[in-house]
Chains A and B, each alone.
Chain A
Amino acid sequence: MQNTFIARNPSVLWFLAALGLFTAIVTLMSEATGVGLISTSFVKTLGKTLCLCLIAIAMDVVWGYCGILSLGHFAFFGIGGYAIGMWLMYARTEAIVVPNLMAQTIPPTPQEISDAIGNQIFGVVGSSEFPMIWGFADSLFLQLLMVVLVPGLLALVFGWLAFRSRVTGVYLSILTQAMTLALALYLFQNDSGLRGNNGLSGLQNIPGFEDTPQATISIVFFLASAFALAAGYVFFAWIVSGKMGSVVKGIRDNEARVRFLGYHVESYKLFIFTITAIVAGIAGALYYPQAGIINPGEIAPIASIYLAVWVAIGGRGRLYGAVIGAAFVSLLSSWFTGGGAPPINLGFYTIQWTDWWLVLLGVSFVAVTLFFPKGIGGLFDYLVRKQP
């Protein structure tokens, strides 16, 4: 079985090898080992990029393989981030507040502890009471469960409603975009219970590891992200390569045919939509502790569209394409917008890339859609096939 799986997916071995090599190099060069050729902040950037690659392969499965152009997967990513962020913020605040209270003459009551933590967390939105949704915030295990359950349930309910009424194509894209917008708008409210547009912050401080240097923490998260990406890659490769993949690709290419073959198309779409939403949530839960802050702006519809852009540039319908696209575009983006790219002097006008990067991205995206619909991955395929 294992043999046939690898045989059907030669890219899996290559991918795992490349990822392993990359991870090893980064780890050895990082500040955590004392070499320090790669700064801690760049390790974080790379770790975040791995998480983006993970959500990109999820997007590729739902769009490239199943044909559902979801403009909502970044919402699931954000939900995963919020879920883990709630625990991080709660536990961290608790670790700061409780010793103070304990130092006083009289031991604090549970109510006093809760009020003090609530005051710290919700002071910015003028409240000190814990909303209902923070009910599990004190338990890492339960919040980790939320990372999986909340995106999964939301995707299940939304998908069930949408697929059941046979909303497809562009309509479905718009509907998923609307869902994302609704979620972002909801989170922007101060009484959403998630600190409104302040979002959750200080997530880079891991409770219980206050004394561990960020250099080490960043490498741990980097490795965890790499592991999650590897696991996600193998998992999705398994899903799309077998008979499941056959049916799913069939749905993408001709939904009616699959239906008349007796497959309940909606169940399959729902399965793919939900499973990818869960992986997106996990990617988010790994991303935001490295980013340190999450706010509703991250969930705005535009983020999900960028996700589609990455996958399209990388090449749909091939998992490594999604990884290449996400890594390439997001790293390039931070290089250009971070001022890394040298300005171009035209004599009468100087092109500052912080201003012009989005124009370049937009135009090249149109070009890729028009001229290279298979993306970078397609080019890659072409080169690999040419060799023998």
Chain B
Amino acid sequence: MSTLLEVSGVTVTFDGFRAINNLSVQFAEAELRAIIGPNGAGKTTFMDIVTGKTKPDEGSVIWGDKNTSLLGMSESQIAREGIGRKFQKPTVFEDQTVRQNLAMALKNPRGPFAVLMHKKTPENAARIEEIATEIGLSDQLTRTAGELSHGQKQWLEIGMLLAQDPKLLLVDEPAAGMTVEEREKTTDILRRAAETRAVVVVEHDMEFVRRLGCKVTVLHEGSVLAEGSLDHVTSNKTVVDVYLGRAHA
């Protein structure tokens, strides 16, 4: 399996505080990966770096077959390269319908003039239906996104990421605030998505991570502490000390 994204030797400092410290991590083209770590471990900052929101002081972020560097690209360029990001809080456009939300995310030309001259096509409509079915919102397409439940908003946002057709999906705490059934559904969606692309899930909830059943990377103080299956990392002494130990103490 070839490497999709390679982060190596990245360091970020905020006012003397090292949020990310010589972090190196790799992701393959089609895998599901969970990133866990205590508060302040640098999980969100890591996503900020990959998506271009934060510029690292040192290190490199190499992307795809052509080994392009993501540093120096803008957020929108990186998004167009094929990296989708889901925020911690559900961020959908609450004033617009589910269909409009998905239509905006569909992989189409992104320039203002192309958008201005955009016409509805049957292909796009079909794709929207397909994604809506995938995320279980096919009967909600004409509703305003603001009227959806919390879980539905989370799925809509995941749906928007899928509509972008990204090669890598970064998902920040998708299960937060969800009921048990909703979590199961979310797990299913993510697992299915990971069959054709890389999906990286940042999560606090151990149960959720266990359900994903994938490789786990533990971050601590801005660098990788351990990597492997969940059972492997949870048996790691240091991990237990810095993270689980405290959590269960």
Residues on A facing B (Cβ under 8 Å): 1, 239, 242-244, 246-247, 249-250, 253-254, 256-265, 267-268, 271
Contacts and interface: CB of A to CB of B under 8 A. Distances in A.
Contacts, number: 74
B103 to A, nearest CB: 7
Contacts of A264: 74, 76-77, 110-111
The residue in A239, A254, A263, A271 that gathers the most chain B C-beta atoms within 10 A of its C-beta is A263
B51 interface: yes
Nearest to B99: A246
A253 B118 contact: no
B84 interface: yes
Contacts of A253: 93-95
A242 B110 CA distance: 14
A268 B104 CA distance: 14
B79 A247 contact: no
Given A246-B93, A246-B104, 10 more contacts: A243-B104, A246-B96, A249-B95, A253-B94, A257-B87, A257-B92, A260-B84, A262-B164, A265-B76, A267-B112
Given A262-B79, A268-B112, A256 B105 contact: no
A150 to B, nearest CB: 22
A244 B100 CA distance: 11
A374 B100 CA distance: 23
B61 to A, nearest CB: 16
The residue in B51, B91, B160 that gathers the most chain A C-beta atoms within 10 A of its C-beta is B91
Nearest to A243: B118
B115 interface: yes
Contact of A239 (B75, B105, B116): B116
The residue in A257, A260, A271 that gathers the most chain B C-beta atoms within 10 A of its C-beta is A260
A243 B93 CA distance: 13
B85 interface: yes
Nearest to A262: B79
Contacts of A247: 104, 115
A260 B51 contact: yes
Contacts of A261: 79, 104-105, 160, 164
Given A261-B79, A261-B164, A263-B76, A250 B116 contact: no
Contacts of A263: 76, 79, 110
B80 interface: yes
A303 to B, nearest CB: 29
The residue in B79, B100, B103, B112 that gathers the most chain A C-beta atoms within 10 A of its C-beta is B112
Contacts of A254: 91, 93
Contacts of A243: 103-104, 115-116, 118
Contacts of B164: 261-262
Contacts of A259: 74-76, 79
7 contacts: A253-B93, A254-B93, A257-B87, A257-B93, A259-B79, A262-B110, A263-B110
A165 B53 CA distance: 13
Interface in B40-82: 51, 53, 74-77, 79-80
The residue in A257, A258, A271 that gathers the most chain B C-beta atoms within 10 A of its C-beta is A257
A246 B100 contact: yes
Nearest to B82: A262
A322 B82 CA distance: 40
A250 B104 contact: yes
Contacts of B105: 261
A262 B80 contact: yes
Nearest to B124: A243
Contacts of A271: 112
B249 to A, nearest CB: 36
B147 to A, nearest CB: 15
Contact of A250 (B53, B96, B112, B118): B96
A263 B5 CA distance: 22
Given A243-B104, A263-B76, A257 B91 contact: yes
A247 B164 CA distance: 14
A256 B230 CA distance: 33
A271 B112 CA distance: 7
A159 to B, nearest CB: 13
A258 B118 CA distance: 17
Nearest to B51: A260
Contacts of A244: 112, 115-116, 118
Contact of A242 (B51, B79, B111, B118): B118
A58 B71 CA distance: 37
A264 B84 CA distance: 15
Contacts of A1: 119
Contacts of B74: 259, 264
